[in-house]
Amino acid sequence: MKKTVKGNAFHKLNIAVLITCVAFLCTGLCINKYYKTVLEERLMEDIDVRVVKWKDSFDRQLDNLQMAQSNLLYSQSVAKINMYWDYRSSYERMTDCVNLSDKLKEIRILYTLIEKVGIYFPQHHKVVSGNAPILESYEEDEFYDNRQCLLSDSGDLLLTTYYPLTISGKENKCVYYIRSVITASRLKTFLEQNIQIDETGFAAAADQSGRLVVVYRDKTTPQEENWENRISYELTEALKYNDNVDALRIKSDIMISGSYSKKSGLWILYGYPKNAIQDPLKKLL
């Protein structure tokens, strides 16, 4: 009888110990998961701050570039070429164009973001360029509904300043205009120079539909199959349900933070594969 009592007591003790161990284990797992969530959130907040900083830097460059374009466009040298073109000799025309081209080159050198820049004269169908050749003829103007900033189908960002711009019906009364072209390759260079990415991270710019214009990633990092398509898909899906927002977060197998540049119509993005965030946390916790 005593043995039975002792056996039952020992059995109950084992159950109590087991319950205590399970309770400690569950508590530990909950605490572990909580700290992982907190650390992951702090990492995302840090990425959010950096993305906004990069977007603001990009917008400032566009604002400064547009100011430089306006200052040149409103100068007497441009008005002189447009006004006296038909009354000048070939030598005088070329001299004026060379002088204006030198000023355009100064803008191109100062703002390395742009690939080319030129001033267009619709009345004469001539364009003076800061690139070679200095002077060219063209057949038709592209006003793009008088938009100052436009992302073309080819992925080039067009920044245009018009002088002056008055609309009469559908007729465009622009006398002349200056246009800078920021190519995808120059935009990628901007990302490389301004966004310090980690080995597993990536930086990107995308249009309003979620189409990737350019992606920058550490060349030493092994690239997963179709990873750019996955990024574009996640972004497209997120934008479907987040209209008229300036910032977004994507948390799936790819963690992405994005900030919208109203100036350019581009999303500036930074992100990681989710396992790149979780694996280090597993080692810490």
CATH of the domain at 91: 3.30.450
Inside any domain, residue 23: no
172 beta partners: 167
Alpha-carbon separation of residue 277 from 14, 53, 201, 281, 282 (angstroms): 40, 21, 10, 7, 9
Inside any domain, residue 6: no
> What is the reported pLDDT for 194?
77
Q: Looking at the structure, tell me whether residues 221 and 151 fall in a common domain.
A: no
Q: How far apart are CA 162 and CA 158, in angstroms?
A: 13
Q: Looking at the structure, tell me whether residues 83 and 170 fall in a common domain.
A: yes
> What is the reported pLDDT for 227?
73
Inside any domain, residue 63: no
Confidence at 80, pLDDT banded by 50, 70, 90: very high
Tokens of 137: 């003829």
Residue-wise pLDDT tens digits, 216-227: 876 655 556 577
Q: Looking at the structure, tell me whether residues 174 and 268 fall in a common domain.
A: no
* Residue where a domain stops, chosen among 183, 203, 226: 183
Q: Looking at the structure, tell me whether residues 170 and 99 fall in a common domain.
A: yes
Range of the domain at 218: 30-58+195-284
- Scan for tokens 């003790």, then name that residue: 13
Alpha-carbon separation of residue 166 from 144, 163, 174 (angstroms): 15, 9, 7
> What is the reported pLDDT for 283?
53
Q: Looking at the structure, tell me whether residues 178 and 79 fall in a common domain.
A: yes
* Residue where a domain stops, chosen among 150, 183, 216: 183
What value does the mean pLDDT of the chain take?
81
CATH of the domain at 252: 3.40.1840.10
- Burial grade of 80 (CB within 10 A; 0-12, 13-18, 19 or more): middle
Residue-wise pLDDT tens digits, 86-95: 999 999 999 9
pTM: 0.79
Peptide bond connecting 222 to the previous residue in cis, omega within 30 degrees of 0? no
Q: Please say if the pLDDT value at position 96 is more than 60.
A: yes
Residue 202 — φ and ψ, nearest 5°?
A: -150, 155
Q: Looking at the structure, tell me whether residues 223 and 267 fall in a common domain.
A: yes
**Number of domains, the chain:** 2
Q: Looking at the structure, tell me whether residues 154 and 98 fall in a common domain.
A: yes
